[in-house]
Amino acid sequence: MVTTYGHCGQRDMPYLRRTDMIIVAGWLQVDRVDRDQYVAGCVAVVQQARTAPGCLDFVLTADPVEPDRVNVYERWESDAHLERFRGSGPDAGQAAQIRDAQVRKYRISATEDP
């Protein structure tokens, strides 16, 4: 459900839409020689996520500047949808390749056009 609000909660202002959603965003660091293989190994997970109930967007991409970085972006309708999909996280092989990570979950209460 999307409710339209204006400044200070006033209704009928078309630029701010009330919504509850979860965004998971950040980066993973893997060895630069393994990065492209890591991303390719995630294709099935991306495909599964995009067809999962409640998934609004899901992508894992090679960073165009840092050769050891994988960018993470997920958008979900709710925590429940995210948790149902997430399960136990990356498999042991993928988890072993991650050298460092900074990924956070954000709770979004409103959106607007840029």
pLDDT at 5: 41
Sketch out the chain's domains with CATH numbers: 21-112 (3.30.70.100)
The amino acid at residue 78 is: S
What is the average per-residue pLDDT within 80-89? 83
Tokens for 40, please give them.
Answer: 């390719």
How far apart CA 76 and CA 58 sit, in angstroms, is 9
- Band (pLDDT 50/70/90 cuts) for residue 15 is low
What is the average per-residue pLDDT within 103-108? 95
Q: DSSP characters for 23-77? A: EEEEEEE--TTTHHHHHHTTHHHHHHHHHSTTEEEEEEEE-SS-TTEEEEEEEES
What is the average per-residue pLDDT within 62-85? 96
Residue 94 or 19, more confident:
94
Q: Is pLDDT at 95 greater than 50 in this prediction?
A: yes
